[in-house]
Structure 1
């Protein structure tokens, strides 16, 4: 190739000297290839017409281009004409930008990969911790049963009258140690007395009789005092602003007596029920069982009793008994004439029209009807069929109190759900069908108490106060002899 270009170059350079003897012609053939032709004078003609000016200039331009190409091939000057040199610079700049973008994207992908690897390592560590915790719980020996103080004869007789029952296997849960601050099965720290001063505008304040010599913590008499709230856990998200937590006083296999249950009551579909082996696991947030209720639940009025969850079906007066062992509905029945879905709630709202609870006497429903004109109605229910056995109508309006609970057949109402220092301001005794005003101090530690229920299993009050699961020790007087 180089020899051919040199030969052409030499021929062009010699053209001036041989113009009188020879002429160079160029042209394209039919295939588009360039042909150069040399002619020499014939014997007839002494010379040929000379090439015009434009052709000479074009030939010089091509000659310059050939010189540049020859220089590049021989390793000499690599400069191209201005237009080609500018195009190469732009192409090089674009290639550099593309390279920079590719490097940047590669660095981002590398960073994302490292972050995901760190998260994966964290999840693996978490899973390993949970696996070790599970193994520890499986290998943990069952706690030894310690002797308990036998219940009082009156309480034992009352509980043992249940049809088909002999000695109540849960009777040890009916007792209370005589000293204040007992931690009981929940292992709560001893509650401390706070400031005695309180103010509640809704409360009808009356004097509480001073404790006499015949009062202690083991009876089933009137409520004397409520301890400071003890916090066990704070909910993780907005669904736990208010909810329910419960313990079955007469647990049925496969769940043991220490099993605790929790339901978050905020959401379009309240159906999940979380079970925990004990209070320690509840405090850590490690459920061992999750049940999905077949019917949506309404508000915070549910309760547990004899292996079943009792609750109000959403937007209706229908009560449901859900069997935990079979995970199915065992019974359903409408509560006659009961208001529902905001007709007669507690003062805090939340569709708390029907409030179910369990005490030493069995299963109860607290609600109101149009006939009662909003006053609290108390009904004792059959735990199997959910039928009403007997009802009492009080003279206190349901929407004028924040909440209520039943202990030993006596209904107690709480004056406020937001006041940090409020009172238990009213008591109605179903045994005598009489009510009276009280002024027992009660604390809403976190300022929004949406659930207060008596736990027969612990003989404590369970509460749900503004995302917080709390409990209260209670002190009862001895039941008076008839």
Structure 2
């Protein structure tokens, strides 16, 4: 009887524990269902907000596309108007040129001109009957972009061989020689070029090629002109340029200490010294011996000059601004006194990329070979005859 009572008691306790466990599980399931229901509600709300946000973004993107197209049309219209204004400015500049660069004090100008004339009393003995001077720039052609922002390229000024020579950079010891302009323009880089290794590095951008010789300034403290035979690949001659306290010849191209040039009269050197640091000087050189035949101080300022070239014994100095603008020939000096600044037209170069690091006139073609921010450019010139004075 006692044992039966114990069994009944244990059975009742087991049933109570089982019921309590079931109740606990039921409460937990209800809590999970509530959380799932809340999650579904929040998910639906987030999805709805995301759809609304997407619709707003699509609408804004469509509006931006419309504004972009409107802006593009406006910019095209502005670009057209700017081009028209530039053409009108080009016309006005050719019709009403600005006054050439002069010193601030007119008396100083008069004194400078007097000094120049006194120093250059010896009349220049012309070697040719060349009487051409620039009338205007007829056309411009951009051939290629090869190399760094500064350099020099040209043809042989005297032999008419047709070969093209590249001096890339403001120093180096390798010249690239192309057989023709066609090879130069069609070449990928310098793939079609012949590389000529020089015995010494060149300096600046004032080199020139004349009668199968390369004339360049040797890298170093002294101004040594090297005459390099392009056919025999050897130094034919060299000479120290006889000036003291030399300074860069152009204010905007300080790498060029001497600018060598060749024209119908032969070989020239454009330079500057500290004794006459405000103005550019020039000298006639013997292309065979490198001797200096005659020297002149010009009235052309160094300030804001970027490059120069010589035609028929007349130097045309090209000026710009420190923030590159339009280059223009603003000072002219003729060693035979046949051309003055008043006689020479103010010539503006067409709009380009930056500023010229070199300008080389080819008398056989009446073309100027220009290097502008890595672009190789040809300028075709209109010429007229000098007037006797």
Structures share fold, TM-score greater than 0.5 = yes
Whichever structure has more strand as a proportion of its residues is 2
The answer to whether the 8 A contact 1:307-1:323 is kept is yes
The answer to whether the 8 A contact 2:166-2:175 is kept is yes
Distance in 2, Cα, partners of 1:219 & 1:384: 21
Deviates most, 415-424 or 288-297:
415-424
SS at match of 1:283: helix
- Quote the residue 2:197 is aligned against: 292
SS at match of 1:445: coil
Matches within 5 A, 1:387-426: 387-416=291-320, 419-426=324-331
Out of 185, 209, 231, the position equivalent to 2:142 is: 231
The answer to whether the 8 A contact 1:226-1:474 is kept is yes
In structure 2, the CA distance between the partners of 1:338 and 1:265, relative to structure 1 (3 Å rule), is farther
- Quote the residue 1:377 is aligned against: 281
Matches within 5 A, 1:209-224: 220-224=131-135
Distance in 2, Cα, partners of 1:371 & 1:421: 30
Residue 412 (structure 1) shift: 0.6
Whichever structure has more helix as a proportion of its residues is 2
Distance in 2, Cα, partners of 1:371 & 1:433: 27
- Quote the residue 1:249 is aligned against: 157
In structure 2, the CA distance between the partners of 1:396 and 1:205, relative to structure 1 (3 Å rule), is closer
Distance in 1, Cα, partners of 2:130 & 2:294: 24
- Quote the residue 1:302 is aligned against: 207
Matches within 5 A, 1:55-94: none
The answer to whether the 8 A contact 1:317-1:338 is kept is no
Matches within 5 A, 1:152-167: none
The answer to whether the 8 A contact 1:392-1:433 is kept is no
Residue 479 (structure 1) shift: 3.8
SS at match of 1:281: helix
The answer to whether the 8 A contact 1:246-1:260 is kept is yes
- Quote the residue 1:204 is aligned against: 99
- Quote the residue 1:321 is aligned against: 227
Distance in 2, Cα, partners of 1:408 & 1:384: 19
Task: Give the greater-gyration-radius structure (CA).
Answer: 1
Residue 433 (structure 1) shift: 7.7
Residue 448 (structure 1) shift: 2.6
Out of 80, 87, 104, the position equivalent to 1:195 is: 87
The answer to whether the 8 A contact 2:253-2:307 is kept is no
In structure 2, the CA distance between the partners of 1:370 and 1:481, relative to structure 1 (3 Å rule), is closer
TM-score norm. by structure 2 comes to 0.63
SS at match of 1:314: coil
2:156 corresponds to 1:264 = no
In structure 2, the CA distance between the partners of 1:325 and 1:481, relative to structure 1 (3 Å rule), is same
2:177 corresponds to 1:275 = yes
In structure 2, the CA distance between the partners of 1:476 and 1:434, relative to structure 1 (3 Å rule), is closer
**How large is the Cα RMSD of the aligned pairs?**
2.7
SS at match of 2:202: coil
Distance in 2, Cα, partners of 1:433 & 1:370: 28
- Quote the residue 2:241 is aligned against: 335
- Quote the residue 2:362 is aligned against: 455
TM-score norm. by structure 1 comes to 0.51
Residue 196 (structure 1) shift: 4.4
Unmatched 5+ stretches in structure 1:
1-193, 207-217
Distance in 1, Cα, partners of 2:256 & 2:298: 18
Residue 314 (structure 1) shift: 1.3
Residue 358 (structure 1) shift: 0.3
- Quote the residue 1:365 is aligned against: 269
SS at match of 1:195: helix
Residue 360 (structure 1) shift: 0.5
- Quote the residue 2:352 is aligned against: 445
Residue 435 (structure 1) shift: 4.0
The answer to whether the 8 A contact 1:249-1:257 is kept is no
Q: Deviations over 1:265-301 (max 9, x none)?
A: 24xx511101111111111234341101111111110
Figure out how many residues of one structure are paired with residues of the other and give that number.
266
Residue 220 (structure 1) shift: 3.2
Residue 408 (structure 1) shift: 0.7
The answer to whether the 8 A contact 1:317-1:339 is kept is no
Residue 362 (structure 1) shift: 0.5
